[in-house]
Chains A and B, each alone.
Chain A
C-alpha cells in the first residue's frame, strides 16, 4: 500500500477525534459565537426594583423543574478534599447536584442523587417526607404549626433564597451595578454585581444572575479577591418552566422501609453547636467581624486547626473567602476580611 493511502486511512481516526472534540467543545463555542444575550437595558436600580416588586408582594415562583449545581472551592486548609455524605461540611468543597421540582408553594420535591442512592424531600399539601434510599428510611417530618414549609436545608439553598440573602446585604457599603447579560441554563439573564467598597474585604463581588423573562434568580456566584473562578457558586444547570408531573409530589413509604417520624435527620444533628458565651460583632456589612469565646482544646485533633498558621497572639486560618483568628486567650474571631483586620480587631 502506498504511503499516501496509509495517510488517508489514519485520517479517519484523526477525524473521529476531531468530531468528538468538536461535539464536546460545541457548547462553549456556540455560546461564544452567539455572544452575550441581549436583554432590554436596565439600570441596577430598575432591576432591583423589578425584582423586589416581583418577589416582595404577591409574586410567586412559576412552576418549574430543573437541576441545581453547587460548587465550592473555598480553599479551606486541612479539609478532606471530598467529604462524603450530605453533612453541611461536605458542601464546603467539591461539586454537588440537586434536582428540584416545584409545583407551587405547597408542592415541591428536592432530590439529591448519589451513586446507587438518592435522598428526597417531598412536600405536598402540609405533609413532608424525607426519603433516604441508602438507609432505607422514610421520615415523616414534623412541621412547625405556624410555618408550613420545612426549614430550609443547608443543601437546598435555592437560587431565590441565596439572592434574597445577597440583596439583604446590599447596603451603603456596596457598589451595585448591572454586569453583562449572562446565559444561565440556556436562558438569557441579567447579572447584578454587588461589590464591597471596603478594601479589607476578601470578597471581590457577588454576582446574581436573574432570568430576563421570569425574574427568577438563576445563579449566585461569589468571587474572592484576585480569583478568576468563583469560590462559591450555586445555580441552575438546567431549568424548565412548566408544571412538573404530579407523581413527583406524591410519596408513599415503600414496603420494607423503616418509617419514622421526626426532624430532618442528617442536617439538624450535624449542625454545629454554638458555644455558650458572649458573641460580639464589630464592624458592619461586608467587613463584620464576629468574636466569640472559643476553647481550642475542643478541636485539638481537627485537621483544620492543625493547618492553622501561628501569628503573634494566636493562630490564623485563611481561606479564599473567610479568615479566622484563634487567640491564645480563648477567643475566635472570624469574618470575610484579611487576617490583619482580625488581628487589629483582636487588639
Chain B
C-alpha cells in the first residue's frame, strides 16, 4: 500500500483515540478508577479518625500528609493495582474476540501489528492513569487532613517539599512501568484466548502464585526473575542517596517482561486465524 506516512499515523491515532474511548468510557473502568481513587482517601480518613496506633509509617502520615502517597502505593501495589490493570489488559483482545468484533477490526496482516500496538498503548495509558489517580488522591487527602512540610526519607534525612513531590512522582512512574509490564503479560494471555475473564483470572492467579513464591525462602534464587518481586522496589526513591542501582534493575526487569510477552503476543496475534 503506497500511502503517505502521515495518513498511516493519522489512522493509527484515530484507532488509538477510539481505543481510549473504549477503555475509559466503560462503566467498569470508571468504577475501578473510582475505587482506586477512594482507597487513599479511606487510608487518610482512617488514620485521621482512629489515630496512628504508633505504627511508624502511619505516624509519618500523621506528621506529614505527603507520606500518604507512599503509604497508598505500598498497600495498593501488591494486589489492587495488578487486578485493575489485568482486567483492562486481559480484556483488550479476548474481549473483542468474545464479542465478535475482532473480525471487523482486522483487514490485513499489517493492520494486526498496528491494532496490537494500539491495544498496548491504551493499556499503558490506563496504567499511567491509575498511578496518577492514586498519587493525586493521596496527595489531596494528605493536604486536606494533615499538615504538609518537608519529607522524611527512609534513610532518616529530610528533603524539601518540592523534592519530596518529585520523589513521589518517581514512585508513580516506576509503579506505572511495573504495571505496564504486568499488563503486557495480560495482553499476551488475552491474545491466546477468546474469553476475557480467562485472561484476567490467569493473570491475577500468576500474580498471586508469584507473590507466594517470593515469600518461600528456599526459592530465593528464582525471586529476581519474578515480576512481582520488583514491584515494591519503588522504596529506592525514598532512600538517600537514591537507590538508582536497585530501581534501574527493576526497570530492566520490566523491560525484559515487556519485550518477551509483547513479542509473544505479536507472534500469536499476527499468525493466528481469527474466526470470531
Contacts and interface: CB of A to CB of B under 8 A. Distances in A.
Which among A94, A118, A247 has the greatest number of chain B C-beta atoms within 10 A? Answer: A118
Contacts of A67: 245
Interface size class of A (residues with CB under 8 A): 35 or more
Nearest to B235: A116
Given A94-B220, A113-B239, A256-B60, A20 B156 contact: no
A20 B259 contact: yes
Interface residues of B, number: 38
Nearest to A133: B154
A254 B217 contact: no
Contacts of B235: 115-116
Contacts of A117: 154
A325 to B, nearest CB: 28
Interface in B222-276: 232, 235, 238-241, 243, 245, 252, 256, 259-260, 262-264, 266-267, 270-271
B265 to A, nearest CB: 9
Interface string A220-263: 00000000000000000010000001011001111111000000
B18 interface: no
Interface in B134-172: 149-150, 152, 154-158
Contacts of B262: 16
B256 A95 contact: no
Contact of A255 (B152, B155, B218, B238): B152
Chain B, interface SS category? helix
Contacts of B56: 133-136
B157 A254 contact: yes
A12 interface: yes
Contact of A247 (B157, B245, B270): B157
Given A115-B235, A131-B155, A131-B156, A13 B241 contact: no
Shortest Cβ-Cβ A-B pairs, 6 listed: A82-B217, A131-B156, A136-B56, A254-B152, A256-B63, A13-B263
Interface of A: 1, 5-6, 9-10, 12-13, 15-17, 19-20, 23, 67, 81-82, 94-95, 111, 113, 115-118, 120, 122, 129, 131, 133-136, 138, 238, 245, 247-248, 251-257
Interface of B: 56-57, 59-60, 63-64, 74, 109, 149-150, 152, 154-158, 217-218, 220, 232, 235, 238-241, 243, 245, 252, 256, 259-260, 262-264, 266-267, 270-271
Given A129-B156, A255-B63, A255-B149, 15 more contacts: A9-B267, A9-B270, A16-B262, A16-B263, A95-B220, A116-B232, A120-B156, A131-B155, A133-B155, A133-B156, A238-B245, A252-B157, A252-B158, A253-B156, A256-B63
